Amino acid sequence: MALAIEASDLGFSYPDGTRVLEAVDWTVEEGAFQLLVGATGSGKTTLLRQAVFAVAPVGERTGRLHVFGADPASRLPREAAQTAGCVFQDPASHIVCDTVERELAFGLQNLGVEPSLMRRRLAEVAHFFGIEPWLHRATAELSGGQQQVLALAACLALRPRIVLLDEPTAQLDPVAEKNFLHGLFRVNRELGVTVVVATHAPDVMADYATDAVALEGGRASRVPLDAFRPRLLRGSGARAAAPAGVGAGLAVDVRDAWVRFGKTSPWVLRGLDAAVPRGSHTALLGGNGSGKTTLLKAIAQVMRPERGSVKNALAKGQAFLPQDPRLLFMCDSTIEELQEWQRACGYGDAAVDAMLKRCGLESRVAVHPYDLSGGERQKLALAKLLLTKPSLLLLDEPTKGLDGASKAEVAGLIEEARAAGATVVSATHDLAFAHLCATQVALLFDGQVAAAEAPESFFCDNVFYRPLDDAFARCWRARHGAADVRARAEKGDAPGGEG
């Protein structure tokens, strides 16, 4: 079988001396659908970028890398664009045009494709991905998931031989995720395009893949796909005890809220009613574009309803984690980010050091936030907010881009904040996170809350929203199992103890 990618003894170091890849031997067969797995910060994004010279990171590369028989650096721009395409973690970073149609055409225009052929390519990809209804919409109004679909469609309009994707489903709802993967599967099988996906969610992709490679310690190794075969999550699992005062009044009360982006834009929230009890964790679920982020912004008073009311009793102590964590970064290093609000919020160096250790960022203190991996940026942004000890946490996709162990750490931090009295509202597509960590699940549909229930009743016999027993769920159980053993030991009633 011919090889799409062949790397031997491949190494890479960033300018600051950080060694990410170490003697990597990696092959991708032409026509394969390969999964690339590994912990947050293991170098998956760095490895993918080596195969596309236009986006290769600055640093020192050693060893040998060929994509379809040639070093990526040796190809002219037109040939390179038609050889390898990429879709990375932050879809907004791909988008340069103001409308969906112009974004789809942008790459073709740069290659000098004649107008009639360009129009045909646009029609093909728009129909293939079902994005014709938003063809004339402003890209700034798209949800994160819609931006992800647009980024893939624009990439495939160039007809590359291989597509490299970094966490492509992290911002997609469960139904959109299935549709996206099915479309990617068709691209792979029917069009013969080789696909490589770096992911922390191999469980949902295993049935589409042909093989898998794990990156650990800077080296690559084959892993069997059977290790990722999906199983449904059963039961409620370990759940945080309710803090004192939970349910004692409402933290957020939304009544008949009508919200849209502009006077001529369609309504996003249409007479929405919602109630968030103090001390609770409400997880907002719903399709891409259903209004989850808009509701968070309305609660945060970033967007105002044109009709109705949004009452936020904890507005003075709120903290907002946006979908793009880079919006919170203003400093030149990880440590400076965590120290930025020290004087205003009154926390000391010891708290910063403890948070760095808790988030596994001790070795990254001097690194610019933009040079961190997507998962590391996510953890840094949340850590920065938690140091302020907020009374209301508004979180937009808090677990995206994280491996199972890192998700468990982040979920633990959120749980501890709630145990200390914070109220949490999270918008998420991570069903296992919502199932195991939330106290209430609210499903948004047609601009309203279609259901608001306890996780156990919401997920029971649900046809479309079915959480998987993934790496996060297993880490979460292990974490709480160990905590239960310690608690019993402290009380003297652990197995073999007194009592």
The domain limits of the chain are 3-228, 250-468
**Secondary structure of residue 498 in the 3-state scheme:** coil
The amino acid at residue 192 is: G
Work out the average pLDDT over 453-478: 90
Q: Using alpha carbons only, what angle is made at residue 223 by residues 56 and 228, rounded to the nearest 5 degrees?
A: 100
The answer to whether 3-228 and 250-468 have equal CATH topology is yes
Output the six-digit token pair for 182.
């099915």
Work out the average pLDDT over 258-279: 94
Rounded distance between C-alpha atoms, residue 171 and residue 87, angstroms? 13
Under the banding of pLDDT at 50, 70 and 90, the label for residue 498 is very low
Q: Using alpha carbons only, what angle is made at residue 398 by residues 56 and 94, rounded to the nearest 5 degrees?
A: 30
- Which runs of consecutive H residues, i.e. helices, occur in 420-470? 431-437, 455-459
Under the banding of pLDDT at 50, 70 and 90, the label for residue 497 is very low
Under the banding of pLDDT at 50, 70 and 90, the label for residue 243 is low
pLDDT for the residue numbered 185: 92
Under the banding of pLDDT at 50, 70 and 90, the label for residue 255 is very high
Q: Which of 395, 82, 142, 239 is nearest to 151 (CA)?
A: 142
pLDDT for the residue numbered 240: 52
Burial class from Cβ neighbours inside 10 Å (0-12, 13-18, 19+) for residue 117 reads: exposed
Query: Quick one: residue 23, left, alpha or beta (phi over 0 = left, psi -120 to 50 = alpha)?
Result: left
Rounded distance between C-alpha atoms, residue 473 and residue 200, angstroms? 13
Work out the average pLDDT over 161-189: 88
| Mean pLDDT (the chain, rounded) | 90
Rounded distance between C-alpha atoms, residue 163 and residue 192, angstroms? 11
Return the higher-pLDDT residue of 498 and 377: 377
Return the higher-pLDDT residue of 108 and 239: 108
Work out the average pLDDT over 466-478: 91
pLDDT for the residue numbered 499: 36
| Residue range 121-151, pLDDT digits in tens | 999 999 988 899 999 999 988 877 788 889 9
Rounded distance between C-alpha atoms, residue 140 and residue 97, angstroms? 9
Q: Is the pLDDT of residue 95 over 70?
A: yes
- Which runs of consecutive H residues, i.e. helices, occur in 346-454? 349-358, 374-386, 404-419, 431-437
Output the six-digit token pair for 188.
């792979």
Least reliable range by pLDDT among 20-29, 160-169, 240-249, 328-337: 240-249
- Which runs of consecutive H residues, i.e. helices, occur in 39-197? 44-50, 77-81, 100-110, 115-128, 144-156, 174-191
Contacts of 13 (CB under 8 A, 6+ apart): 19, 20, 59, 60
Looking up tokens 């099988």 gives 189
Q: Is the pLDDT of residue 244 over 70?
A: no
- For the chain, give the percent of residues with pLDDT over 70: 93
What CATH number belongs to 3-228?
3.40.50.300
pLDDT for the residue numbered 92: 77
The pairing of beta strand 318-321 with beta strand 392-396: parallel
Rounded distance between C-alpha atoms, residue 58 and residue 70, angstroms? 20
Output the six-digit token pair for 360.
């596994």
Q: Using alpha carbons only, what angle is made at residue 254 by residues 251 and 257, rounded to the nearest 5 degrees?
A: 155
Q: Are 319 and 390 in contact (CB under 8 A)?
A: yes
Domain 250-468 has CATH 3.40.605.10: no
Output the six-digit token pair for 301.
């008073």
Q: Which long-range contacts (CB under 8 A, 24 or more apart) does 202-208 make?
A: 202/35, 202/37, 202/228, 203/228, 203/229, 203/230, 203/231, 203/468, 203/470, 203/471, 204/169, 204/177, 204/178, 204/230, 204/468, 205/35, 205/169, 205/181, 206/35, 206/230, 208/33, 208/181, 208/182, 208/184
Q: How many CB atoms within 10 Å of residue 110?
A: 12
Rounded distance between C-alpha atoms, residue 73 and residue 76, angstroms? 8
Terminal alpha carbon distance of the chain:
65
| Residue range 337-390, pLDDT digits in tens | 999 999 999 999 999 999 999 999 999 999 999 988 888 999 999 999 999 999
Work out the average pLDDT over 35-56: 92
Least reliable range by pLDDT among 183-192, 294-303, 430-439: 183-192
